[in-house]
């Protein structure tokens, strides 16, 4: 019993020393105390647990660089990572980041904490592939995404979200991000996100992401989108009245949905988005999905553009995105 409680007592003592050093503004001394305790740990679980607990103390005090260095040092020594340590790591990292006060932290704080999260992902992944939403690796990616988003690192947040198996949160992020885009770019942003997930072999989350976007009225509902696809393909078909907000007053080859008139390039993007999800529902590989999308979408790419946006140029941009993520 005494031996079992020793790690907890050591962690409590070092946290007290860290608190004393931090009260004196000595972040270096606090870090050295924590590193020394981690080095004396007899088990991997003890070392990582102590590092995460002490790292949380440092981050809460604004010593983000020191917290990151401590966590990375412990994790780099935890190879191969034991399963029990792996399963507890995501929760510990989430607690560390949530207590770091990122809403009022300087931009550098996010950089340092993301460095620690990336190290944790690498250590937890090892030779294993993530199999479920509650797996440690997707949970760590969710943590990284939230840290990046809170500190304004949009690109980093996106790279973590697409691997985090959280389509509801990801869709919210896409909505926020797309609000800063030009209207003609918003569809491309959604298509790019779908292509990335498909290229990673993820055929489930794009569909769930679309459902969340439909619920937020960012993209039309399925019935409206299918009507839009038919209208765009024929350039003349009138959409079903019960699936659109206001079909009256729209020109040929246009649909109105969610308060938006979808026409020309924007309608083509809507069609492409719907085709992507309809094809991926068949369970095909990403490369096959793209081949079928291109075959079915090519007639629209050859048409004339509208509103100053050329459909062919949009097709080339989407091709570039596909080439990048399907190679």
How far is residue 262's CA from residue 258's CA, in Å, rounded to a whole number?
Answer: 10
Kindly tell me the burial class for residue 251, based on how many C-beta atoms sit within 10 Å of its own C-beta (0-12, 13-18, 19 or more): exposed
pLDDT category of residue 77 using cuts at 50, 70 and 90: confident
Q: What 3-state class would DSSP assign to 259?
A: coil
pLDDT category of residue 42 using cuts at 50, 70 and 90: confident
For the ranges 51-55, 141-145, 226-230, 270-274, the lowest mean pLDDT is seen at 226-230
264 φψ region: left (φ > 0), alpha (ψ -120 to 50), beta (else): left
For the ranges 7-11, 168-172, 205-209, 251-255, the lowest mean pLDDT is seen at 251-255
**Whether the predicted pLDDT of 113 surpasses 90:** yes
Q: Looking at the whole model, is its pTM more than 0.85? A: no
213 or 151: which leads in pLDDT:
151
For the ranges 30-34, 42-46, 79-83, the lowest mean pLDDT is seen at 79-83
Work out the average pLDDT over 201-205: 71
For the ranges 44-58, 70-84, 98-112, 262-276, the lowest mean pLDDT is seen at 262-276
Work out the average pLDDT over 73-84: 87
> Tokens representing 315?
């097709």
Query: Which domains, and CATH codes, for the chain?
Result: 2-165 (1.25.40), 183-326 (no CATH)
Report pLDDT for 183: 66
Report pLDDT for 141: 94
63 or 238: which leads in pLDDT:
63
> Tokens representing 140?
């760590």
Report pLDDT for 202: 72
Mean pLDDT across the chain, nearest whole number?
72
Report pLDDT for 244: 31
How far is residue 275's CA from residue 300's CA, in Å, rounded to a whole number?
Answer: 12
How far is residue 74's CA from residue 93's CA, in Å, rounded to a whole number?
Answer: 13
DSSP string, 304-324: --BTTB-HHHHHHHHHHHHHH
Q: How many CB atoms neighbour CB 190 within 10 A?
A: 26
Report pLDDT for 116: 93
**Whether the predicted pLDDT of 201 surpasses 70:** no
Report pLDDT for 280: 57
215 or 232: which leads in pLDDT:
215
Closest CA to 148 of 162, 165, 128, 131: 162
For the ranges 97-111, 146-160, 248-262, the lowest mean pLDDT is seen at 248-262
């Amino acid at each position: 019993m005494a031996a079992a409680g020793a790690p907890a007592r050591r962690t409590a003592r070092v946290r007290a020393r860290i608190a004393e050093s931090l009260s004196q503004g000595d972040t270096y001394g606090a870090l050295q105390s924590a590193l020394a305790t981690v080095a004396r740990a007899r088990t991997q679980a003890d070392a990582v647990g102590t590092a995460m607990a002490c790292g949380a103390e440092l981050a809460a005090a604004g010593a983000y660089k020191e917290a990151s260095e401590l966590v990375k040092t412990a994790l780099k020594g935890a190879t191969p990572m034991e399963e029990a340590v792996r399963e507890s790591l995501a929760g510990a990292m989430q607690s560390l980041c949530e207590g770091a006060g990122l809403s009022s932290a300087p931009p550098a704080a996010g950089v340092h904490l993301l460095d620690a999260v990336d190290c944790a992902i690498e250590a937890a992944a090892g030779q294993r592939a993530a199999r479920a939403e509650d797996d440690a690796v997707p949970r760590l990616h969710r943590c990284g995404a939230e840290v990046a988003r809170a500190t304004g690192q949009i690109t980093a947040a996106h790279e973590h979200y697409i691997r985090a198996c959280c389509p509801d949160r990801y869709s919210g992020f896409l909505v926020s991000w797309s609000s800063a885009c030009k209207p003609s770019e918003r569809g491309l942003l959604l298509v790019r996100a779908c292509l990335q997930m498909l290229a990673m072999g993820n055929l489930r989350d794009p569909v769930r992401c679309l459902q969340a976007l439909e619920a937020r009225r960012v993209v039309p509902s399925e019935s409206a989108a299918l009507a839009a696809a038919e209208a765009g393909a024929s350039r003349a078909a009138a959409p079903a009245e019960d699936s659109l907000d206001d079909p009256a007053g729209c020109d040929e080859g246009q649909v109105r949905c969610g308060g938006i008139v979808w026409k020309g390039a924007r309608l083509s993007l809507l069609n492409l988005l719907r085709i992507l999800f309809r094809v991926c529902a068949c369970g095909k590989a990403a490369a096959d999905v793209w081949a079928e999308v291109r075959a079915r979408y090519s007639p629209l790419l050859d048409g004339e553009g509208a509103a100053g946006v050329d459909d062919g140029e949009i097709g080339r941009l989407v091709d570039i995105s596909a080439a990048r993520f399907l190679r």
